[in-house]
Amino acid sequence: MRALPSLLGLLALLIAPAAFGQALPDVTVARVGNQDVSLSLQVLLVMTFITLLPAVLLGMTAFTRIIIVLALLRQALGTGQTPSNQILLGLALFLTFLVMMPVLDASWQAGISPYLDGTLPAREAFDAAIQPLRAFMFAQVRERDLMTFAGLAGSTGYTSPDEVPLHVLASAFLTSELRTAFEIGFLLFIPFVIIDLVVASVLMSLGMMMMSPMLVSAPFKILLFVLVDGWILVVGSLAGSFAIP
C-alpha cells in the first residue's frame, strides 16, 4: 500500500523544488455565497500535475516492458482478445508494483518521508528521492541509447551518472525497454511459430488446403502453454529480467 503514496509523493517533489522552499500564495478557485474558496498554489499544482502520474508510470518504471511482452504473448498464442486488455493491464500493474517496490521503498525512506515530516527541504528531498529511481533506470538502460539521447540534447558525454539529466535518462530508458521487450517477445514467438509451421505442413500433405492452419494449431499452442505452466514461466522470467540495483 506504500507504492501509491510513494508515487504521489515523488510527483509532488517533482514540482516542489520550483518553490525553492518558499510558501506559495493562495489562489481563489471558487466563490460560495459571499465567501471565497482558496487553495494554496502548491496544492493546486500538485493536484494539476497528478495527471502526469500515468506518464511517470509508463515511462520510468517496469510497466512498459511487462505490458508489451504480455501483449506479444497473447498475439503469439493466437487467442484474439483473450485474456482481455483489462486483465493484461491489471497483471502488468501488479507485476510492476512487485518489481518496483524496493525502489519505491528506498525513495520513501530517503526523501519523501523526511520531506513530509519537515526534516528535509524540498530540493534536497527531491534529489534523495529520485536517486533510487535513477539507479533503477541506469541498471536497465543501454549505453548506446543513452549516448544517442545525450547527443540529441546537445551533450558530448558525461563524466559520471549523476551528471545525466533526468529527461535524457528517461528517454534512453524507455527506448531500451522497448528493445528489450521486443527481444523477449521474439523468443516467445519461436515455439508457437514452429507449431504453426508443423500444422500447416501436415495439412498441406493431407491435401486439406482449405482448412485454416491457425484454427487447427490454436488448441495445440494453448495445450503446450498450459502443460509447461506458461504464465508462471513468463511472469517469473519477466520479474527476474530486471536488474535491481
69-101 pLDDT per residue, tens: 998 988 888 887 888 888 888 888 888 888 888
Q: Which residues contact 237 (CB under 8 A, 6 or more apart)?
A: 184
Q: What are phi and psi of 121, to 5 degrees?
A: -65, 165
For the question of whether the overall pTM of this predicted structure is more than 0.85, the answer is: no
Helix (H) or strand (E) holding 213: helix 213-227
Q: What pLDDT does residue 44 have?
A: 59
CA distances from 135 to 49, 104, 131, 146, 243 (A): 24, 12, 6, 14, 10
**Residue 21 confidence class, pLDDT cut points 50, 70, 90:** very low
- Mean pLDDT across the stretch 146-151? 84
d(CA 229, CA 191): 14
202-231 pLDDT per residue, tens: 877 777 767 676 777 788 888 888 888 888
**Residue 4 confidence class, pLDDT cut points 50, 70, 90:** very low
Q: What are phi and psi of 56, to 5 degrees?
A: -65, -40
Would the pLDDT of 183 be above 80?
A: yes
